[in-house]
Chains A and B, each alone.
Chain A
Amino acid sequence: MAIIRDMIPAFELFQPTTVEDALALMAEHGEAGWVLAGGLDSYDWFKDRIKRPEAVIDLGGIDELNGISDGQDGLEIGAMTTLTEIVRHERVRSEYMLLADAAEHVATPQIRNQGTLGGNISQDTRCWYYRSGWACYRAGGNTCYAAAPQAMNREHAITGTSRCVAVNPSDTAPALVALDAKMTVRGRRSSSVYDAEDFFIGPATDITRMTILEAGDLLTQIDIPSEWANAHFYYEKVRDRGSWDFQLVSVAAAFKTSGNTIEDARIAVNGIAPFPVRLDAVERLVIGAAVDEALAVEAGEIAIDGSRPLKHNEYKQPMTSNLVRRAVRSVA
């Protein structure tokens, strides 16, 4: 079969207006169904004619998935809330700026106007071997082209790999990990809540998925607990271009401080693994410590413990170290 990377192949389009209907449609179509949030990742797959669902279930008409509201503890964000709405939301900005900051680093204004928080964190990896439709592990094959000795892997992982070396591309994912966000996932019969950290999975868990979501699961809501409201935040994303670019490395950190001393911390890095990496060891190091340059340097060093670069991405080690160092330094 010859390859052509143009024109979306035919599908049936469903536009349910309730979560229940969406779940029913998802159950009915199973693996042949495709859940569409903002669609920006989906259309790429469709136009490349690599993913060819028979049924597309568009969540855009489900009001209950849209919007930000005050919860019992913090904020409740519908999975279909656009990134622009998050960027502009008053309470997000005043209490959880880390999330607004991360969301504002996504791609472009048009994409933020259409892309959703749920979609942003559920998007697939941008490994160019995988996105080109090659039969790699993640695509159900039996090799990883990106880890081959000659491979082009400047943008790939230095840690957390297991056969697959692709990275998670989401800008908001590390912020949600750092904010201890809770993800509500609904299936047809049950509903579960996951810690953000557990929502993102690595290839060791399931090489074909980036998140805990399986066919039939719907991410409906992201809760931001008040635990980290008004903490000291640090977000930085390094990319090649100022817009429409995925991170080379990004860091999202939240600190509770007393003067110069870090009382509690969450630090997550993305772009270095198939999932946003929470740096527990760095957190343990800095909690209770007074911030000085020596601490920042040590934090940066610990951050890349155990990482192993590929042929073209050794730079991600110092880049990660330096970003973590800056995050810690920012407290002082």
Chain B
Amino acid sequence: MGEVESAGLLETKYSRRKFIKGVIAAGATASSAGYFIGGSGLLGAQAVPGAAERLITLTINGQQRRVDVLPNETLAMTLRYRLNLTGTKLGCDRAECGACTVLVDGVSQYGCSMLTNQVRGSSITTIEGLENPDTGELSPVQQAVIDEGGFQCAFCAPGFIMSMTAMVNENPNPTRAEAAHALSGNLCRCGDYDKILNCAMRAAELARSV
């Protein structure tokens, strides 16, 4: 791919270019206990989106990642554009399609619709974190998708797989109706729902046998 970098380059570039300010509270607000994540306005700089951010640590796929984020930045943007974890897709960016679904402390949520700063203390799992980090073995849900030949265009697949992962953890023995209910926060425009449900049922079966 030549100049098209794979991972991390963008992040490095941004980190290098941008200055970092410590802006925790610092007497700037009435609240002594509250955290304050400052936008540029308060720092005396002109209103420059992106000019001021703070370095935070996120726990993503079991790894600590240090990253600069804006106060108004969503987790999906941080994952995709700061950490190059592009498996989390933006299908609508409005909590409607589920392509950005990630697990926050094991719970499925829309990565497009939460602030990165809200998950500083949480453990985030993305599609890139499902394989066994030591062996590279696919997770039971991923294996189930292989077994059933799941998905068509698959732009929705990472989100569905994260929802299935949450589902098998919460309800390892779902009926087909329960599985549909558990996956009802994800859209597939190819209309591959029948096969997706087959995958979900197979996923539960594999997860039970692990």
Q: Tell me, yes or no, whether A and B come into direct contact in the complex with CB atoms closer than 8 A.
A: yes
Residues of A within 8 A of B (CB): 6, 8-18, 21-22, 24-25, 27-28, 39-40, 43-44, 46-47, 54, 56, 58, 60-61, 84, 107-111, 113-114, 242-244
Can you list 6 A-B contacts (CB < 8 A)?
A10-B39, A13-B115, A109-B181, A110-B101, A110-B110, A243-B184
User: In the complex, which residues of chain A have a beta carbon less than 8 angstroms from the beta carbon of B96?
Assistant: 244
User: In the complex, which residues of chain A have a beta carbon less than 8 angstroms from the beta carbon of B150?
Assistant: none
User: In the complex, which residues of chain B have a beta carbon less than 8 angstroms from the beta carbon of A6?
Assistant: 93
Contact status of A243 and B35, CB under 8 A, knowing A110-B98, A114-B114: no
**B35, closest chain A residue (CB):** A15
Most chain A C-beta atoms within 10 Å of own C-beta, residue among B93, B95, B163, B186: B95
Chain B 51-97 residues near chain A, CB threshold 8 A: 70-74, 93-96
Taking the complex as formed, is B38 at the interface, i.e. its CB lies under 8 A from any CB of chain A? Answer: yes
Contact of A24 with B113 in the complex, beta carbons under 8 Å: no
Chain B 104-160 residues near chain A, CB threshold 8 A: 107-110, 112-115, 117-118
Q: How far is the CB of B130 from chain A (nearest CB, A)?
A: 17
Contact status of A58 and B115, CB under 8 A, knowing A109-B108, A113-B108: yes
**A24, closest chain B residue (CB):** B30
Contact of B185 with A47 in the complex, beta carbons under 8 Å: no
Contact of A10 with B34 in the complex, beta carbons under 8 Å: no
Question: In which size bucket is the chain B interface?
Answer: 35 or more
User: In the complex, which residues of chain B have a beta carbon less than 8 angstroms from the beta carbon of A114?
Assistant: 109-110, 113-114
Instruction: Provide the bound-state CA to CA distance between A61 and B112, in Å.
Output: 20
Residues of B within 8 A of A (CB): 29-42, 47, 49, 70-74, 93-96, 98, 101, 107-110, 112-115, 117-118, 163, 166, 181-182, 184-186
Contact of B95 with A10 in the complex, beta carbons under 8 Å: no
Contact of A58 with B118 in the complex, beta carbons under 8 Å: yes
Contact of A13 with B36 in the complex, beta carbons under 8 Å: yes
Instruction: Provide the bound-state CA to CA distance between A157 and B8, in Å.
Output: 52
5 further interface pairs, Cβ-Cβ under 8 Å (given A10-B39, A17-B34): A39-B115, A43-B112, A110-B163, A111-B95, A244-B184
Contact of A110 with B31 in the complex, beta carbons under 8 Å: no
Contact of A60 with B31 in the complex, beta carbons under 8 Å: no
Contact status of A111 and B34, CB under 8 A, knowing A9-B49, A13-B115: no
**A9, closest chain B residue (CB):** B72
Contact of A8 with B109 in the complex, beta carbons under 8 Å: no
Partner of A25, one of B34, B40, B95: B34
Partner of A111, one of B38, B70, B110, B115: B110
Contact of A109 with B41 in the complex, beta carbons under 8 Å: no
Contact status of A15 and B95, CB under 8 A, knowing A113-B109, A114-B109: no
Instruction: Provide the bound-state CA to CA distance between A244 and B113, in Å.
Output: 15
Contact of B71 with A28 in the complex, beta carbons under 8 Å: no
Instruction: Provide the bound-state CA to CA distance between A46 and B77, in Å.
Output: 15
Contact status of A10 and B71, CB under 8 A, knowing A54-B41, A113-B108, A114-B110: yes
Contact of B93 with A47 in the complex, beta carbons under 8 Å: yes
Most chain A C-beta atoms within 10 Å of own C-beta, residue among B38, B73, B184: B184
Contact of A14 with B108 in the complex, beta carbons under 8 Å: no
User: In the complex, which residues of chain A have a beta carbon less than 8 angstroms from the beta carbon of B49?
Assistant: 9-10
Contact of B114 with A14 in the complex, beta carbons under 8 Å: no
User: In the complex, which residues of chain A have a beta carbon less than 8 angstroms from the beta carbon of B98?
Assistant: 108, 110
Instruction: Provide the bound-state CA to CA distance between A39 and B94, in Å.
Output: 11
Partner of A18, one of B33, B41, B107, B118: B33
**B40, closest chain A residue (CB):** A10
Partner of B185, one of A22, A60, A61, A107: A107
Contact of A16 with B34 in the complex, beta carbons under 8 Å: yes
Q: How far is the CB of A246 from chain B (nearest CB, A)?
A: 12
Contact of B74 with A12 in the complex, beta carbons under 8 Å: no
